[in-house]
Every structure is written in C-alpha cells, then in structure tokens.
Amino acid sequence: MAELQLRGINKSFGAVKVIHDIDLDIANGEFVVFVGPSGCGKSTLLRTISGLEEPSSGQVLIGGEDVTDFDPSERGVAMVFQSYALYPHMTVEQNLGFGLRMGGMPREQVSERVLEAARVLELTDLLERKPRQLSGGQRQRVAIGRAIVRQPKAFLFDEPLSNLDAELRVQMRIEIAKLHQQLGSTMVYVTHDQVEAMTLADRIVVLRAGRIEQQGSPIELYDNPDNRFVAGFIGSPR
Ligand code: ADP
Ligand code: MG
C-alpha cells in the first residue's frame, strides 16, 4: 500500500485554479521530486500533503488513512523549511527540541530524540550554539533536524537548499541522500534544480500549470522525455 496517496486533488485560490485533478501514489520509502517552472503548483501540492493547504476537492491519504480533514500536526509528516525559520534566540538543542516540548513530550524523551538527531546530522558538538554562530549548511542541518526529531512517516522538503551558495548546495544534497539511505523514510522534495532532481529522486514528477506532465525515474525521463518541456527540465540533449 502506498504511504502517500493523492486522489483527484484540485485547488483554486479564488477564481484561479492552480491544481488540476492530480492523482499520485508515493510508496513507503520512496524519494519523489516535484519539478516544474515557478508558479506551476509544486508548493501548493506539497502543502496539500502537509495540511497547510486544504484541497478544493479530492483526498489525501497517509498510510492508507484519509487525513484530508486533519490538521498538519495530526498527519505524522514533517515539512522541512529553509534554515532561516530557526529561532535566533534559542540554542541548537532548544531549536531541535522546541516542537516536541510544545507537544508535551517528557523532557528525557525530548533529550533522547534531540541527541539522536544531532548524531545523525553531526551536530553533537554544536548543540550549545545559537543559529548566528553556525554556517549556512549547519543551520540547514538544524532545520532538517527539527523534522527528524518528530520521527515522521514522511518528510516534505520545499526547495530547502535554495538560499545556500553553490558549494553548500552540493554538500547538503549529499547529506540529504545519506539521510534518506539511513532513515529509509518517504521523502517528497520540491526543487527547480536539475542536478538535485536527477541525483536524489527515485521518481521525478514534472508539473506544468498544475498538472502532471510526465513522471518516471530520472533515467527514464532523461532518455525518453515526452516533449521539449520535459527535456528542458531534465536536461536531456534534445
Ligand atoms: P510553485 O511552488 O510551483 O512555484 P505555487 O504552488 O507556490 O507554485 O503557486 C501556484 C500558483 O498558485 C501560483 O500562480 C501562485 O501565485 C498561486 N498561489 C499560491 N498560493 C496562493 C495563495 N495563498 N493565494 C493566492 N494564490 C496563490
Ligand atoms: Mg514553491
């Protein structure tokens, strides 16, 4: 059974329809990347999975359960935001544990989860620092750590590397691939970076004006793009 299922998802903002009847099944442990031009609906679709947007019609299922009417906090999925969403006045340790503490988790259990996430992300030596004392890549790792501590069924990333410089993007891309290997979690990742899509994805979903234009493994799309639009996004020579 698919971990994440989108069934006939439509979304309008006022009179403007931005998502058109999207059906998508994402398997447990699969790494799916959404690509497409700015404004094609990538973030809206991701936010529909997380519950930050409510679809105009259609259903979202997580682990087989219809969560369409659930709040984001009840869905068991975690959004990874860009690193500037860290709390500047809190240490790394406090940033990592904040959401769990607010949810009422006992202190010792929070501490266990924070230490485990810090170990996975190699942040153990930085736990007492404030965000301003971290590099861009370290901050981004803390932002990912805040999702890891929740032990979510799926991770949802919305262009998590877009405000990092080129060198850090490469490093963080490798980190995210390692994380997927280690945790084996379902991941949905939005980017407009071809290299990120090609190297991270088990499956790439190319979106165009709120519809799925084509989907397949990186190699399938690269070798057999249906049209110039897809070729342009995947970087196929044609
Ligand atoms: P992408 O992430 O692919 O760049 P988005 O999902 O952010 O695209 O946006 C898709 C379309 O929906 C765009 O035309 C955008 O302007 C519009 N849109 C997104 N969010 C809102 C909103 N809250 N209110 C009105 N229009 C929105
Ligand atoms: Mg977006």
Q: What is the pLDDT of residues 25-68, one digit of tens each?
A: 999 999 999 999 999 999 999 999 999 999 999 999 999 999 99
Residue type, 47: R
Q: How many CA atoms lie within 13 A of 219 on its CB side?
A: 1
* pLDDT above 90 as % of the chain: 83
The residues near 235 (Cβ < 8 Å, ≥ 6 apart) are 194, 198, 222
The Å distance, Cα 227 to ligand 2 centre, comes to: 23
- Residue 95's nearest CA partner among 143, 48, 132, 63 is 143
Distances (CA, A) of 215 to 10, 18, 23, 34, 237: 19, 19, 12, 9, 18
Mean pLDDT along residues 13-18: 97
Is the pLDDT assigned to residue 134 strictly greater than 80?
yes
> Buried (b) or exposed (e) across 183-200, using 16+ Cβ within 10 A?
eebbbbbbbbbbebbbeb
Q: CA-CA distance, 193 to 42, in Å (whole number)? A: 13
Whether the Cβ atoms of residue 78 and residue 68 lie closer than 8 Å to each other:
no
Is the pLDDT assigned to residue 9 strictly greater than 70?
yes
Ligand nearest to the CA of 48: 1
| pLDDT at 19 (0 to 100) | 98
| pLDDT at 238 (0 to 100) | 57
Interface predicted TM-score (ipTM): 0.98
Give the position, in ligand 1's atom list, of the atom nearest the Cα of 159. Answer: 2
| pLDDT at 1 (0 to 100) | 59
The Å distance, Cα 170 to ligand 2 centre, comes to: 20
Q: CA-CA distance, 17 to 210, in Å (whole number)? A: 8
Q: Which residue has the higher pLDDT, 160 or 186?
A: 186
0.90 exceeded by the pTM?
A: yes
| Confidence tier at 236 by pLDDT (50, 70, 90) | confident
Q: CA-CA distance, 169 to 35, in Å (whole number)? A: 17
Distances (CA, A) of 128 to 86, 111, 121, 125, 230: 14, 13, 15, 8, 46
Residue nearest to atom 5 of ligand 1 (CA): 41
The residues near 111 (Cβ < 8 Å, ≥ 6 apart) are 97
Is the pLDDT assigned to residue 13 strictly greater than 70?
yes
| Confidence tier at 22 by pLDDT (50, 70, 90) | very high
**Ligand 1, CB cutoff 6 Å, lining residues:** 13, 18, 36, 38-44
The Å distance, Cα 104 to ligand 1 centre, comes to: 34
